[in-house]
Amino acid sequence: MNAITLVIGAICILVIAYRFYGIFFTKKVLKINEDTPTPANEKNDGQDYVPTNRWVAFGHHFAAIAAAGPLVGPILAAQFGYLPGYLWLLIGAVIGGAVHDAVVLFASMTKGGKSLSEVMREELGPVAGFCTGLAMLFIITITMAGLSMVILGALAENPWGTFAVAATIPIAMLMGLINKFTGNLKISTILGVILLVGAVFYGPSIQGTWLGDVLTLDRETLSILLPIYAFFAAALPVWFLLAPRDYLSSFMKIGVFIALIIGVFIINPTIQFPAFIPEFLGGGPIVAGPVWPFVSITIACGAISGFHAFVGSGTTPKMLNRWDDIRVVGFGAMLVECVVGVMALIAATVLHPADYFAINSSPEAFAKLGMTVVDLPVLSEAIGMDLEGRTGGAVTLAVGMASIFSGVEWFSHLTAYFYQFVIMFEAVFILTAIDAGTRTARYLIQDFLGNVYKPLKKTDWLPGAIGASALACIMWGYLLNSGDIASVWALFGVSNQLMASIGLVCGVTFVLKVADKRIYALTCFIPLVYLYITVNVAGFWMVKNVYWNDMAGGYNILNGILSIIMLTLGLIIVITSVIKWRELWAHPRFTKQATAN
C-alpha cells in the first residue's frame, strides 16, 4: 500500500463532506441565519467576548481542538494496523465529529456563549445541568493531564526543543500587542513566523551553555512547570497570549502538514504496516484493550472528541463575528483535523513495525516482542538522540516525518532541525490546548461554584478568575504527576468520548427544537448511539481488566473510581435527555436560533 492512495482518498471524502453535508447541516438542520447578533457582538467586553476575524477564530479554534489528540491517537492506534484507524478517522469525523462540533458551538452561541453545563441546565433541567457540570470538571481535568503527558517524553532532557517551545510565549505576546494596538494582522504574522523559525535554528547554539543547562529538564520538573505556566495563560486576557499563538500555530501546523502531503505525493513512501496486525487485535504493548472499542477510544481528536465541546462552548462562541462562521470554524476545522490525524497515521506506519514498537514501548516490553530494529539506529544518529523508549507518540510522529523526507538527498543535513521543529509544533499545539482547556476549566469552575457564591459567575471578576485558574491547574497537575502515558491516555480516551456523547445529547435536543423535520435529529442520534455504547464497553473493560486488577501494569484505584463516577453521570444525563426528547417528539416547538428556550 502506498501512502498517496490513503491521502487522496481521505481528502476527496472530506472535501465532499464539507461542501455538501456541511451546508446541509448548518443551513437545513440548524437553520443558521444572520437575523440576530452573535454573542461576541452583543456582549463585546474586550476581554472574553471579542468579535474576531473568521480566520483568526478558525486559527484559535483549530489550534485548541487539534492538540495532541489527532497526532498521538492515530499513532498509538497503529498498533492494530493502518486500516482500523484510517476507517475510524474518516467515518468518525464526517458522521460524528463535524456534526458534534458545529451543534455544540451553535447551542452555546444560541444561549449567549454559555458553557455546555449551563446550556444543559436550561434545556434539560437542574439534574442534567449539575451532572454535566460535574462530568465536565472531571473530564477537563483528565484531558489536561493526558495532553500534558505527551509533552514530557518529547521535551525531557531536550534543551533545544524546550528553548524553541518556550520562545513561542514571548513571540505570541508580541503578536498580541501588535494586533491589539495596530490591528495589522499581516505584520504580526510575518514577524511571528520569522521569530519562530529563528528560534528553531538558534536552538543548537544553546547546547553546552548555561542556558542549555537551565533548559535541560527532567520529566518531573516539566510536570510541575506545565501547570504553573497554564495558570498564567488562563488568567491573562485572551488577546494577549491565547488567540495570537493559536492563530500562529494553526497556520504553522497546517503548513507543516501541507508540506508533508506534498512530500507524500513526491516521494510516495510505502506503508510498511499491514492493514491489520492479528496478534495485537486483542490488545498489545501500547493499547491494552481490543481493537473495538479501543480504536474509537484511542483515536479521539481527529474523529470525534468531547474536548471540542469545551472549546466550542468556552472560548470560541465568544469570538465568532457571524453565525455563518459556525460552518467554517466548527464543521470545517474538524475535517481539517481529520487530515492531520490521517497524516499522523501515515507518519507512523511508514516506519518499520519493529522501529515503531521500539519507540512506543518500554525497553522491557519491547524485549518481550522478539523484534529487531531496522532503521532506527540510523535515524537516531541523524537526529542526534536516542529514540528508543520515548513513549507518548510525539517522537514517533517526528521520526516518521523525518523518515519520509529522508528520501530527498539534501534533506539529510537538516534532519535534526526538522525533528526539533516537529517536536516544537507538537508541543506548541499541546500548550495551546492546555491554554484553552485550562481557561475553559476556569469558566466551568466559576459557573459551577457561582451557584453557591454569585460573584464567581462574573468571568471578568479578577479574584474569581485567579482562584478558579489556580484550582484547575492544581487538579490536573496532580494527575499529571501521578501517572504514565499508558494509564492516563486510556482514562483520557474514555472520559473524552463520554464528553462527546454528552455533546451529541445536547445536539439531539437542539435539533428537535429548531429543525423543520424531526427526522433530522438522526444526524446527532446515530453517532450518539454508537459512541455511548463504545464508551461504556471500554470504560468497564478498563476498570475490570486494568484499573482494579492488581496484576495489571496500569493498576490504579483512583482511575477506576473516576471512570465509574463519569459513566454514572453519563447515564443520568442520557436518561434525563430521553424524557425530554419524548416530550419534544410529541409536541415539537420550532424556535429561532437566538431564542431556543
Question: 203-207, 305-309, 338-342 — which is least confidently predicted?
Answer: 203-207
Q: What is the pLDDT of residue 412?
A: 65
CA distance linking residue 50 with residue 52, whole number of Å: 6
φ/ψ of 207, rounded to 5, equals -70, 130
Q: What is the pLDDT of residue 571?
A: 94
Q: If you search the block for the grid coordinates 500562529, which residue do you land on?
A: 248
Q: How confident is the model at residue 387 (pLDDT cuts 50, 70, 90)?
A: confident
- Degrees to nearest 5, angle at CA 522 with 521 and 523: 90
CA distance linking residue 507 with residue 523, whole number of Å: 9
Query: Regarding predicted confidence, which is higher, 468 or 409?
Result: 468
Bridge partners, 52 (sequence order): 320
pLDDT of 591 > 60? The answer is no
- Degrees to nearest 5, angle at CA 364 with 361 and 367: 85
Cβ atoms of 490 and 297 closer than 8 Å: yes
Query: Buried (b) or exposed (e) across 470-492, using 16+ Cβ within 10 A?
Result: bbbbebbbebbeebbbbbbbbbb
Q: What is the pLDDT of residue 486?
A: 60
pLDDT of 31 > 60? The answer is yes
CA distance linking residue 494 with residue 300, whole number of Å: 9
Return all residues near 564 (Cβ < 8 A) that are at least 6 apart.
543
465-492: average pLDDT: 78
Q: What is the pLDDT of residue 68?
A: 67
Return all residues near 377 (Cβ < 8 A) that are at least 6 apart.
none
CA 334, 335, 340, 341 torsion-angle sign: positive
Q: What is the pLDDT of residue 414?
A: 74
pLDDT of 487 > 70? The answer is no
Q: What is the pLDDT of residue 329?
A: 94
Q: How confident is the model at residue 597 (pLDDT cuts 50, 70, 90)?
A: very low
Query: Regarding predicted confidence, which is higher, 54 or 104?
Result: 104
125-147: average pLDDT: 82
Cβ atoms of 302 and 257 closer than 8 Å: no
pTM for the structure as a whole: 0.83
pLDDT of 212 > 90? The answer is no
CA distance linking residue 482 with residue 449, whole number of Å: 26
31-38: average pLDDT: 89
Q: How confident is the model at residue 322 (pLDDT cuts 50, 70, 90)?
A: very high
Return all residues near 299 (Cβ < 8 A) that are at least 6 apart.
69, 73, 74, 77, 85, 88, 89, 92, 341
pLDDT, tens only, 515-557? 888 899 999 999 999 999 999 999 999 999 988 988 877 788 8
pLDDT, tens only, 48-70? 788 988 888 887 788 778 766 78
Q: What is the pLDDT of residue 596?
A: 46
pLDDT, tens only, 272-316? 999 999 999 999 888 889 999 999 999 988 899 988 988 898 889
Q: Give the mean pLDDT of the chain.
A: 85
383-395: average pLDDT: 78
CA distance linking residue 209 with residue 216, whole number of Å: 11
CA distance linking residue 113 with residue 242, whole number of Å: 18
pLDDT of 594 > 60? The answer is no
